[in-house]
Amino acid sequence: MTRTPTTERRGGPRATLLGMMVLLAVGPSGCAPPQQDRTDDGRVIVQYWEKWTGFEGEAMQGVVDRFNASQNEIVVKKLTISQIDQKLMLSTAGGNPPDVAGIWTHAIPDFSEKGALTPLDQMAAEAGITRDDYIPVFWDLCRHRGFLWALPTTPASTALHYNRRLFREAGLDPDAPPQSLAELDRMAEQLTIVSLLRDGQPVQVRYPDLTEQEKAAIEFKIVQMGHLPQEPGWWMATWPYWFGGRLWDGDRTITAESPGVIAAFEWFEGYARKYGVENLRSFGASFGNFSSPQNPFLSERVAMELQGEWMYNFIDKFAPHMEWDVAPFPAQHPDKKGFVTLIESDVLVIPKGARHPREAFAFIRYVQSQAAMEQLNLGQKKFSPLSHVSPTFVAEHPNPHIATFIQLAQSANACYMPRLSIWSEYKDEMQAAIDQTLALDTEPRVALAAVQKRLQRRLDRIMRRWDLVREKRVKEWSNYDTWGTTQPANGTRLR
Amino acid sequence: MTRGERHNLRTGLAFVSPWIIGFLTFTLYPVGVSLYYSLCDYDVLSTPIWVGALNYRDMLTDEIFWKSLRNTFYFAAFSLPLGMVVSLLTAILLNQSIKGRSLFRAIFFIPSLVPVVAGAMVWIWILNGNFGLLNHALRQLGITHPPQWLSDPAWTKPSLILMSLWGVGNTVVIYLAALQDVPRSLYESADIDGASSIRKLWNITIPLISPVIYFNLIMGIIGSLQVFAQPFVMLGGGGPNRSALFYAVYIYQNAFDYRLMGYACAMAWVLFLIVLLLTWIATRSTRHLIYYAGE
C-alpha cells in the first residue's frame, strides 16, 4: 500500500479529528453552561418562568422589579414561556427546572402526585401564611393530598356576560337577567334571529316568531344567537355543575353517568335539535379568533355567554362601546342552588429540583403581600385572592363588575374542575362525547357510558400506581423541612 | 489484519466517529430506551415501573387507538395514491416543452417550501365553512350548501387529503429528474412505430421511471402514516368527535398531554412495525414490476 502524503502528515488530521471528538463529547454540556447562581455583587439569581405576555406580563414584571428593588440578596429573573406546563414537566424530569414557575391550579394534582413539586407547608408556616389570608377556595385549590403545593397569583371566577342592547331590542329587560336555566333558554330563543325564505322572499325573524312547521323543518340560517353552550367552549366538561352533577366522587370513582351530567348533555342535545346541527356548525364557522373583534360576543352576534372577569379586557380593547352587564350564571334548579361559578387561579410553584427553593419562596411570599397582589391584579384587571383588600381596590378597579366576581368566588356555589391527575384526558373524553351529542350521532347516555368506562379504567390504573408510591411520597413530602434546610445557598442541586 | 490495515481502520473510524457518536447518542439510545419504556408505566416525572406487555394489551381494548389507526389508514389510502398520480401527471406536464416551463415548475414547487404551520394556518381560512375561499368558489358554482370542511366530522379527513395534494412539489421534482433520464431514442423509436402518447407513457416512461415510483411509494407510505403537523395545527385534539385524530397525534397526546409516555412509546413501536410490514409488502409485490437499467 502506498502512503499518501496526507496520511504521512500524522499530526494534522489526527489533531483535527481528536479536537472534533472532544468537542462532540463535551458539546452538549458546553452548549448549556451551568446556570449562573449569583450576580456579580453576590445576589442569588432566582429563575422564574411565567406564561403571561402583553399587559399581563408587564404587570408581573412590575411586581418582580419592586421585589428586586426591595432587598439586596435575591434577584428574580422572569422569563416568558409558552406551553409552560409541558416545558416545566420536561425540565423537571431533566433535573434542570426553574426556581419558580407560574402554572394553574388544575395542574397541581398531576404535578404533585408525580413528585414534580416542592411542598410549601413548612415554608408557608414559617412565614405565617395561613388559609385565613385568602378567599378560602383559592387556598383549598392550592392544596392536594393534604399538602400545600402553590400559592395563588391571579384568580378567576365566571359569570353570565350579556349584551344589554340586544336584550332591549328583543323586548327583554336588561336589568332582569335570567334566574334559571329554563329562563335563560327562553330568553335565548327571544334573542335568536334567523333568516329564511317565506313565500320565496328572504326574511329575518326572531326564533319564537317562526311557525311550528318552520321550527320543525329547521331550514333557516342563524344570524344571531341568544346563547350557545359551546361558546367559548372552554368549560364544556364542567357544564354538569349547573345541573347539580358531579364528575367524580372525590376518591376512586368517576361519575360521568350521574343524573346531573346526563341532564347537561340533554341540554346540549336540546340546542342541536332546536337550532339544527348544520345551522349551528355554519354559524360557528363564522366566528373569528377569541382575541379579535370577530369574537361572536364582541361582534354582538351571541347575546349571552359564560365568561371570566378577563372578558372586560377584551371588551375594552375590541368593543369599547358595547353595552354589557354581568350577573351570576343561573343553575337548573334555582330552588336548590341559585347560580354556579367556576373557579380557577394562576399559581406560583417551586418545582422539585429547584436550585434555590428558599429564595424562590421569599419571592412567592412577597407576591402574597397585599400591596404586591393588588399591584399585580389591578395591572391584569383581575381581583385579589386575598381575604383583605384595600378599601379603594374595588373602586379603583377598571372592571365595573369586579365586585360581582369577588362575591361569586366567596360564595358556597364556587365549583372547580375535578382535582384529578387525569383531568386532561377526562376533559378530552367529555369533549368527544359532547361532539357526538351535538352532532346528534349518539344518545347522551350512550356517549357518557363510554366516557365512564374509559376514564374509570384509567383512574383505576392511576390509583394502583398511587397506592404503590403513596407511602414513599407522603414520607418524602413530610420530611421536606429536612431537605429544605440542608439546601446550600450556593445552589448545589437538590436531589 | 496488517499493521497498516489496522491503522487505516482506526483512522477511518476516527473520521466517521462524529456520526457514530451522534447516531449512538441521539438515535440508537432513544430508540432503545423507548422499547424499554414501552414495557413500563412511565409518566416522565417519576421512575418507570415495569409492567411487561400491559401497554400493548391496553391498545387492543383502546377504542381511540383503533379509531386513530382507522383515520390514519383512511388518510393514507386516499392521499398516497392520489398524491402519487397527481405528482406524476404534474411532472409529465411540466416536462413538456411549453412556454414558461421554468416558471410553472417554480410555481408547483413553491408550496413545498412554505413552513408546514404557516401553510396550515392559511388552509384553516381557505377551508372555513362560511368565509373560506373554497366554499366561496363552490357557491359561485351554484352549490348552495358547501361542506363545513373542518367542523363536520364527515369532511375533516377529505379536507386534509385535499390539502396534502398542495405539497406534492418535492415528489414532482424527483419525478422530473427521473423523466429527464429517459433516453430520447426510445421515444423516437416509438414514434417511428406510430405509438400514441398514452402507449409511450405506459410502455416507456412508466417502466423506466419505476424505481423512482417505487421510492416515492415507500416514502409516501412512511410519510402518510406519520402525518402529524397539519392535523395537529388545524384540528388540535383530533377535530370534531376525533374524526381527524391521526396515529401520530394520538401518540403526542398520550406522551405529553396525558403523561402516558410508556403507552406512547408502545404505540410508536407498533407504528414502526406497521410501517415495516407495509414496506415489506410493497417491496415484495412490486419486485417484478420495477425495471433497473443496470440489471
Distance from CA of A47 to the nearest CA of B (A): 20
Size of interface A-B (CB pairs under 8 A): 88
Lookup: cell for A240: 354538569
Among B15, B46, B256, select the one facing A114 at the smallest CB separation. Answer: B46
Lookup: cell for B109: 414547487
User: Which residues in chain B are closer than 8 Å to A26, comparing Cβ atoms?
Assistant: none
Q: Say whether A306 sits in a helix, a strand or coil.
A: strand
Superfamily (CATH H level) for B63-286: MetI-like (1.10.3720.10)
Question: What does the pLDDT read at residue B270?
Answer: 97
The 8 Å CB, 24+ separation contacts for B137-146 are: B145/A278
Distance from CA of A362 to the nearest CA of B (A): 26
Among B44, B64, B253, select the one facing A89 at the smallest CB separation. Answer: B44
Lookup: cell for A254: 368517576
Strand partners, A307: A159
Tell if the CB–CB gap between A278 and B237 is shorter than 8 Å. Answer: no
Question: What does the pLDDT read at residue A9?
Answer: 43
Task: Look up the ipTM and state it.
Answer: 0.80
| A304 in Cβ contact with A226 (< 8 Å) | yes
Tell if the CB–CB gap between B49 and A24 is shorter than 8 Å. Answer: no
Chain A contacts to B (CB-CB under 8 A): 1, 7, 13-14, 17-18, 20-21, 24-25, 86, 89-90, 92-93, 110-111, 114-116, 278, 281-282, 284-286, 422, 424-425, 428, 431-432, 435-436, 439, 441, 450, 454, 461, 465, 468-469
Identify residue B29 by its one-letter amino acid code.
Y
Distance from CA of B70 to the nearest CA of A (A): 17
- Greatest Cα pair distance in chain B: 82
Residues 6+ apart with CB under 8 A from B218: B279, B282, B283
* A114/A121 Cα distance (integer angstroms): 18
| A282 in Cβ contact with A222 (< 8 Å) | yes
| A276 in Cβ contact with A218 (< 8 Å) | yes
Distance from CA of A211 to the nearest CA of B (A): 23
Place of cell 374509570: A456
Place of cell 383549598: A140
3-state DSSP helix/strand/coil % of chain B, to nearest 5: 75, 0, 25
Question: Is the CB of residue B66 less than 8 Å away from at least one CB of chain A?
Answer: no
Tell if the CB–CB gap between B259 and A90 is shorter than 8 Å. Answer: no
* A374/A418 Cα distance (integer angstroms): 28
Distance from CA of A383 to the nearest CA of B (A): 30
Among B18, B45, B148, select the one facing A281 at the smallest CB separation. Answer: B148
Strands A151-163 and A324-327: antiparallel
Check the CA dihedral B272-B278-B280-B283 and report its sign.
negative
pLDDT in tens, chain A (495 residues): 334 444 344 445 555 445 555 444 444 444 444 567 888 889 999 999 999 999 999 999 999 999 999 999 999 999 999 999 989 999 999 899 999 999 999 999 999 988 899 999 999 999 999 999 999 999 999 999 999 999 999 999 999 999 999 999 999 999 999 999 999 999 999 999 999 999 989 999 999 999 999 999 999 999 999 999 998 989 999 999 999 999 999 999 999 999 999 999 999 999 999 999 999 998 988 888 888 999 999 999 999 999 999 999 999 999 999 999 999 999 998 888 889 999 999 999 999 999 999 999 999 999 999 999 999 999 999 999 999 999 899 999 999 999 999 999 999 999 999 999 899 999 999 999 999 999 999 999 999 999 999 999 999 988 988 888 888 888 888 887 644 443 433 333 322
Tell if the CB–CB gap between B45 and A93 is shorter than 8 Å. Answer: yes
* A452/A246 Cα distance (integer angstroms): 12
* A94/A493 Cα distance (integer angstroms): 12
- Nearest to residue A162, comparing CAs of A305, A363, A56? A305
Within A161-296, where are the H helices?
Answer: 164-169, 181-191, 212-217, 259-275, 277-285
Tell if the CB–CB gap between B17 and A278 is shorter than 8 Å. Answer: no
Question: Is the CB of residue B241 less than 8 Å away from at least one CB of chain A?
Answer: yes
* Chain segment B196-229, per-residue pLDDT in tens: 999 999 999 999 999 999 999 999 999 999 999 9
| A155 in Cβ contact with A183 (< 8 Å) | no
User: Which residues in chain A are closer than 8 Å to B253, comparing Cβ atoms?
Assistant: 428
| A104 in Cβ contact with A392 (< 8 Å) | no
Question: What does the pLDDT read at residue B265?
Answer: 97
* A334/A19 Cα distance (integer angstroms): 76
Among A89, A454, A468, select the one facing B45 at the smallest CB separation. Answer: A89
Burial B267-291 (b: 16+ CB within 10 A, else e): bbbbbeebeeebeeeeeeeeeeeee
User: Which residues in chain B are closer than 8 Å to A14, comparing Cβ atoms?
Assistant: 11, 14
The 8 Å CB, 24+ separation contacts for A463-470 are: A463/A252, A465/B41, A465/B49, A466/A113, A468/B49, A469/B46
> How far is C-alpha B167 from the geometric centre of its chain's CA atoms?
11
Residues 6+ apart with CB under 8 A from B127: B134, B135, B149, B150, B159, B163
* B294/A121 Cα distance (integer angstroms): 76
Torsion angles phi and psi, residue A286, rounded to 5:
-85, 0
Tell if the CB–CB gap between B43 and A20 is shorter than 8 Å. Answer: no
Tell if the CB–CB gap between A465 and B44 is shorter than 8 Å. Answer: no
How would you class B144 by CB atoms within 10 Å of its CB: exposed for 0-12, middle for 13-18, buried for 19 or more? Answer: exposed
Q: Where do the structural domains in chain B lie, given as residue ranges?
A: 63-286
Residues 6+ apart with CB under 8 A from A196: A202, A203, A205, A210, A214, A219, A220, A221
Distance from CA of B266 to the nearest CA of A (A): 17
* Chain segment B122-167, per-residue pLDDT in tens: 999 899 888 889 999 999 999 988 998 998 999 999 999 999 999 8
Tell if the CB–CB gap between B240 and A435 is shorter than 8 Å. Answer: yes
H or E segment to which residue A227 belongs: strand A221-227
- Nearest to residue B235, comparing CAs of B251, B226, B224, B246? B246
SS3 of A16-38: HHHHHHHHHHHHHHHHCCCCCCE
User: Which residues in chain A are closer than 8 Å to B150, comparing Cβ atoms?
Assistant: 285
| B91 in Cβ contact with B176 (< 8 Å) | yes
Give residue B294's pLDDT band: very low, low, confident or very high (50, 70, 90).
Answer: low
